[in-house]
Structure 1
Amino acid sequence: MTALDELVPPDGWSRRPLRELCESIQAGPNRRAGEMRRTQADGGVPLVLPRDLRGQRIDTAEAAAVPAIPWERARELAGYELTAGDILLTRTGTAGRCALVTQEHAGWLFHSNLVRLRLPEARRNEAAYLVAYLSATSAQDWIASRTAGGVIPSLSIRTLGELPVLLPPAGEQARIGAVLAALDDKIQAHTDIARATRAYRATLAEALMNGLLRPGDDPPVPS
């Protein structure tokens, strides 16, 4: 038994398996061979990859590096479209990394090595708390202890559905989710700034090394 199974809910809290909280727990669709090289820059519906789940948010690369599904095929996969308030979780490799889907990635599809947790519409506002709970050490340890070994470790959807979730009263749950979601958003903002600064540094270095810009000149203003 892991620590999570042994935790006693505080007064006023409850414990429920993850499957009872979700409207659906669904793995992403498999891509066809001819779709492997298509990117968002080519057109189509973009695809969230496991590598994009960072800091409880989805952090994708530039369009030329984001895979995409052709429009015709994407229409067949409408049941796999993401909606704001969904939660994505990796189920292979480093299983358990999770991210909250925001409006920025609504309408995207998700990779077959990801699982989408969808709460009932009336409870979508609880998604921020659930992401915080799933990313906490106790839940991550529970997932790690139940990830099947092999060449590529994997977590079954059935096992994931058994994960015990401690639930505070609704008002407290909303406050906890809001506090931690705000910190996740701040982390994402700093990540974006760091990425832009790295790109600016590379451009500036190229200009200085090629003599297009000299030390002391006013450097170009980063966009």
Structure 2
Amino acid sequence: MKSQFTKFRLGDIAEVQTGPFGSQLHQKDYVEKGTPIITVEHLGDNRIIHNNMPNVSEEDKERLSKYQIFEGDIVFSRVGSVDRRAYVTKKEDGWLFSGRCLRVRVKDSRVSSLYLSYYFGLESFKEYIRRIAVGATMPSINTQILSDIEIQIPSIEYQLKVADKLFSIDEMIENNKETNKTLEVMVHSLYKHYFVNFGPFKDGNFIDSEQGEIPEGWKIVSNKDVFEFAYGKALRKKDRVLGNVPVIGSGGQVDWHDTSIVKGPSIVVGRKGNAGTITWVDEDYYPIDTTFYINNNLISIYYLYFALHQQHLEDKGTDSAVPGLNREVAYSQKLILPPDSVVQEFENKVKALFDKIAANNRENYSLIETRNYLLQHLLLEDGTSES
């Protein structure tokens, strides 16, 4: 099987370019609208993340044209997480990359840049590049290190076939993510319509409250009157057994386990570390001891998810080395308590949207497992060289 692969030095089949030096581009050069410039935090799972992107003017774009990226380029993190890379699609064609990144541009017709970007995603390759990075406190790579890497590549026909298969899976994953973003906007809009703008009740009577005017018959209550902030349970790493139960920490999912202690759907609130963060969990799970989870709730969990966001619990944490959310402080926060019939009507409208989001997440989990399996079996299992 290995005889079907050809060994290449990366620098012989691709141009490796570092980003602009700090003296060439300063934060003060950024403009509100212009050409985006990507840096390490924009490198997702072989995709460029289009969030919080700085922009440069047309003049700076021309001045820094040497650092443009085009469809088919691959951008690496130069410092820190040196195993992170992203493939440049048509959407990012003509953008720029920062000095904290390296650009790989394939120049050999025997190599597919899309295939190469997936090759760089092999766990064996990522382990290898972490190993050869320089610097103990802040690992880094440079053009020479990356250029000198040896890779093994099959025929171009096979590359194109494999890359197309993997890319089609990634496209399905991205489509599900985009669908979920739209669904999330819809559920937030419904909550705002019902419980912020009071759209369905605008023709009724309103009364004054400590939270402003609310429809007559509604109440203002404390969190403690409606639900319990239950403590998550410690789970030592050595006691974790790999399974399909998500382990939820204050910042979201941190691991998998074989045993759940809370049924979903449910809400987890960060207690230590990411204090006050709110995570929706749509399946049975295990909340660890850096969290609270909502328990014994007397009102719809779907309504509470949005009502808790309105309380901005992330601003109520203690100012210490490890930020924490005091349970009594969390209990004392106020929320609007509508009649049961109103809350049930709202739940009936949003539950189908939440279920669709959950179904898309489950499908993506399955697609990611499939893609990762194919990465190991369709690409070269271990093509990195330590020579």
TM-score band, normalised by the shorter chain?
0.7 to 0.9
Structure 1 residue 83 corresponds to structure 2 residue 83: no
Structure 1: any 5+ residue segments left out of the alignment?
Answer: 1-8
Letter in 1 for 2:46: Q
Secondary structure of residue in 1 paired with 2:2: coil
Q: Name the residue aligned to 1:181.
A: 167
**Larger Rg, first or second structure (1 or 2):** 2
Please give the alpha-carbon distance, in whole angstroms, between the structure 2 residues aligned to 1:167 and 1:104.
27
Give the alignment of 1:72-111 within 5 angstroms.
72-111=59-98
**What is aligned with 1:157?**
143
Distance 1:12 1:121, change over 3 A: closer
What SS is found at the alignment partner of 2:37? strand
Tell me, yes or no, if the aligned pair for 2:102 and 2:142 is still in contact at 8 Å: no
**C-alpha distance after superposition, 1:5-41 (max 9, x if no partner):** xxxx71221111211110x1112213224225x3xxx
Where 1:177 maps in the other structure, the secondary structure is helix
1:40-79 aligned within 5 A: 42-61=32-51, 65-79=52-66
* Alignment match of 1:21 (pick from 2, 13, 38): 13
Q: Distance in 1 between matches of 2:28 and 2:106?
A: 33
Cα contact 1:17–1:162 (8 A) shared by 2: yes
- Three-state SS of the structure 1 residue aligned to 2:81 is coil
Residue 104 of structure 1, CA deviation = 0.7
CA shift digits 1:59-95 (9 cap, x unpaired):
202xxx3201122121111111111111111121111
CA distance in 2: counterparts of 1:168 and 1:121, whole angstroms: 13
Q: Which range is displaced more, 109-118 or 199-208? A: 199-208
Q: CA deviation at 1:219?
A: 6.7
Match of 2:29 among 29, 35, 39: 35
Q: CA deviation at 1:133?
A: 0.3
| Equivalent of residue 172 in structure 1, options 152, 155, 158 | 158
- Alpha-carbon separation, structure 2, partners of 1:121 and 1:69: 31
SS in 2 for 1:54: coil
SS at match of 1:165: strand
Gapped regions of structure 2 (runs ≥ 5): 201-341, 354-387
CA shift for structure 1 position 208:
2.7
Aligned-residue RMSD, C-alpha: 2.4
Q: CA deviation at 1:122?
A: 4.2
Distance of 2:34 and 2:26 partners within structure 1: 14
One of 99, 111, 115 as aligned partner of 1:112: 99
Question: Greater shift after overlay, 112-121 or 147-156?
Answer: 147-156
Q: Distance in 2 between matches of 1:57 and 1:134?
A: 13
More strand by share: 2
- 1:171-215 Cα shifts (integer Å, max 9, x gaps): 111111111122222222222223333333333333332223565
Aligned partners of 1:156, 1:132: CA distance in 2, in Å? Answer: 20
1:5 maps to none
Q: Which has the higher helix share?
A: 1
* Matched residue SS, 2:103: strand
**CA positional deviation for 1:121:** 7.1
- Asked if 1:195 is matched to 2:181, the reply is yes
Give the percent of matched residue pairs that are identical in Structure 1 and Structure 2.
22
- TM-score, structure 1 as length reference: 0.81
Please tell me whether the aligned partners of residues 44 and 71 of structure 1 are also in contact (alpha carbons under 8 angstroms).
yes
SS at match of 1:155: coil
Residues 128-170 of structure 1: per-residue CA shift (max 9 Å, x gap)? 1101100111110111111223443212221111222111112
String of CA shifts for 1:95-143, please: whole Å, max 9, x gaps.
12111111111011112111111112746x7011101100111110111
> In 1, are the aligned partners of 2:18 and 2:102 still within 8 Å (CA)?
yes
For residue 2 of structure 2, the aligned residue among 2, 5, 10 is 10
Query: In 2, distance between residues paired with 1:54 and 1:17?
Result: 26
Aligned residue pairs, count: 204
